Amino acid sequence: MYDVAIIGSGPAGLSAALYTSRANLKTLVIGKDRGALEKADRIENYFGMAEPISGCELVENTRTQARNLGVELIEDEIFHISWENGFQLEGKEGAYEANAVLLATGTGRQTVKLKGIQELEGKGVSYCAICDAFFYRGRQVAILGNGEYALHEMSQLLPVVQSAVLLTNGEPLKVQAPEGVQVIETSLASVDGQEYVEGVTFTDGTSLAVDGVFIAMGSAGAAELARKAGAMINGRHIQVNEGMETNIPGLYAAGDCIGGLLQISTAVGEGAKAAMSMIKFVRTVQKSS
């Protein structure tokens, strides 16, 4: 059990980790890649950059700094967060437990924009297989996705539904689909239904009848993780107060995933603020146990 688990190893997550680790909290940082800075060639506007350095170098430097301070850094992709006497994180490589969790996953880039998706949300369009599988017992469903996250969502659905199809919406399939699951790689034109989802139409004019469409494109972004845990979100952004606290005690968010300026400086500042709140929270938990 960690005191603090941080999802995201970008500026927000690592900044928070520097503080929590220095406060002697057992800190885990989980990242799946280098985040937004991977593609930033030159950082010129951040404090202390006498000579510009690349985004990758900046992240690598901070990772080393964090490790030197005792932070545990691991590579994994988190699919799900639940809470019951602390938090449980479910990832591709393993499961983790912590008293406090910080969401610092950056901006979820892959929002699927398709005719019908927004209108039919909660009426057959779902963003959470584990939450909604119950309502699709014996029905036909489609999972929209092409990676590990889609497989995770599918594994929640397969035991209860009659059939499941994987739709990659024109993207290449990055994983091996489970045996017996049909994969359709054609791009989608729309999700159809008058009042409730009745099917999907592809750009080649063909269609497929389904009762539900589960969205799991790319990896689980902050909004998906937050939504599944029960944190308030506002569009794609997680709602927090000044202390970076969400509506769930012990769950925090910082950086690009809460919106705002979307710069390294703000992400680092918010990470620090979140760390202060987490330190206070964990100390209270420790005292009462």
Ligand X SMILES: Cc1cc2nc3c(=O)[nH]c(=O)nc-3n(C[C@H](O)[C@H](O)[C@H](O)COP(=O)(O)OP(=O)(O)OC[C@H]3O[C@@H](n4cnc5c(N)ncnc54)[C@H](O)[C@@H]3O)c2cc1C
Site of interaction with another protein (CB under 8 A): 81-83, 121-124, 126, 128, 130-132, 134-136, 195-196, 212, 227-232, 247-248
Closest CA to 181 of 220, 141, 147, 215: 141
122: partner contacted, choices ligand X, another protein, none (Cβ within 5-8 A by kind): another protein
Single residue of 23, 26, 46, 56 touching ligand X by CB under 6 A: 46
Q: Which is nearer to ligand X, 70 or 260 (CB)?
A: 260
Distance CA 182, CA 247 (A): 39
The CA angle 171-112-235, to the nearest 5 degrees, is: 155
10: partner contacted, choices ligand X, another protein, none (Cβ within 5-8 A by kind): ligand X
Distance CA 165, CA 31 (A): 29
Q: Which is nearer to ligand X, 89 or 200 (CB)?
A: 89
Which residues make Cβ contacts (< 8 Å) with residue 55, sequence separation at least 6? Answer: 34, 36, 37, 38, 39, 40, 41, 43
Tell the smallest beta-carbon distance from residue 207 to ligand X (Å). 32
What are the helix (H) ranges across the chain? 11-22, 55-68, 129-132, 148-157, 222-229, 264-288
**In the block, residue with structure tokens 């705002």:** 260
Single residue of 229, 267, 274, 275 touching ligand X by CB under 6 A: 267
Amino acid letter for position 231: A
Q: What is the DSSP string of 41-96?
A: --B-SSTT-SS-B-HHHHHHHHHHHHHHTT-EEEE--EEEEEESSSEEEEESS-EE
Tell the smallest beta-carbon distance from residue 224 to another protein (Å). 12
Q: Which is nearer to ligand X, 164 or 253 (CB)?
A: 253
**11 lies in the binding site for ligand X (CB under 6 A):** yes
264: partner contacted, choices ligand X, another protein, none (Cβ within 5-8 A by kind): ligand X
Tell the smallest beta-carbon distance from residue 77 to another protein (Å). 19
230: partner contacted, choices another protein, ligand X, none (Cβ within 5-8 A by kind): another protein
Single residue of 7, 81, 157, 229 touching ligand X by CB under 6 A: 7
Near ligand X by CB under 6 A, which window of 104-112, 226-234, 243-251, 277-285? Answer: 104-112
Q: Which is nearer to ligand X, 78 or 165 (CB)?
A: 78
**57 lies in the binding site for ligand X (CB under 6 A):** no
Single residue of 40, 69, 158, 285 touching ligand X by CB under 6 A: 40
Phi, psi (5° rounding) for residue 196? -130, 160
The answer to whether the beta carbons of residues 136 and 212 sit under 8 Å apart is yes
Residues that bind ligand X (CB under 6 A): 7-13, 30-33, 35-37, 39-40, 43, 45-46, 77-78, 104-106, 219-220, 255-256, 262-265, 267
